[in-house]
Structure 1
């Protein structure tokens, strides 16, 4: 199954690569809620953040897409858009395919639906994780929980330490877990002082993942009913 998934992903990636690259600089808006998307995008490199604006105009980060992620799939299949913005978190290269061309290709290669279902399940799992994270009332374990999630999704192991290979500011972390930037900065300093994380060039380094997991258990115990 894993080999088949890899082959299908290669096929889908090759299809997107038949279309010219589209470039966005960090901070540029790719999609916005008041405009119909131009097509379906696949990320060739870089990161895209998806967020909505609160009534006060504050960002509320939903999800971050990475290399080989495809969006917006809900619009592609259901023709509905959400009240969210897609913004380049870094300089990025995308491939954009017109919606009808994308759907026709999927119809011709129905096994590709396996890849798309996997992606949709991943997105669902990310949103479930975010809801569970917001159920943690204390800021310290909530932040740790978020860092563990980010390490699982974006982490790279280098010399027995985990690097969250994603340039996030404290403000962006805060917007994803309904906290203020000041609170995130304060709680991060606690983790730094305990030697549980290090920060360098907007990257977070976790020297010992197991110790960070144990720190969560010390400060948050989920009640099972």
Structure 2
């Protein structure tokens, strides 16, 4: 079993990664740890201007502190009518401390006069994998949707109750977890990262070379 630390305290994210890993064929022998397993790491800096900057910043801090491969995601909601906000500030959109309910309320208030056809948005996820030897790798995923006029559904977390997918006529929070884990921005990024992990952590054995006769 290969240990990789997810640079997060959010157990919802950890469960999503675990579910996506179990769905791989063939299965990858990865055990996902979280910052809850490393209480000595109290706070991670994420002061970058982009999702990529923040993801790498978090992953490198954890990899250096623990000497174990670390993965971090920086995800956020990008709303066209708000010029890309909340973007990298998605988790703290309504200020400190982080609060999903207040974030959603602020988003709805800012969009209350915006018609449905102009409420296009997308979830973006950038994954960064930092290795103890200094190597770093990235994968990105995007999921397009629309901001609903009210929250719907009890599943997921964050902005999921407001993120409506017209193709399914449901919000992220209304979708079964197994479907969300196939179509989400995080799932898209993780599929690309799984490919990298297979190459990096579980390379194919060298082919047997026939000697020259």
TM-score w.r.t. the length of structure 2 is: 0.25
Higher relative contact order (CA 8 A, sep 6+): 1
In terms of fraction of residues, the more helix-rich structure is 1
TM-score w.r.t. the length of structure 1 is: 0.25
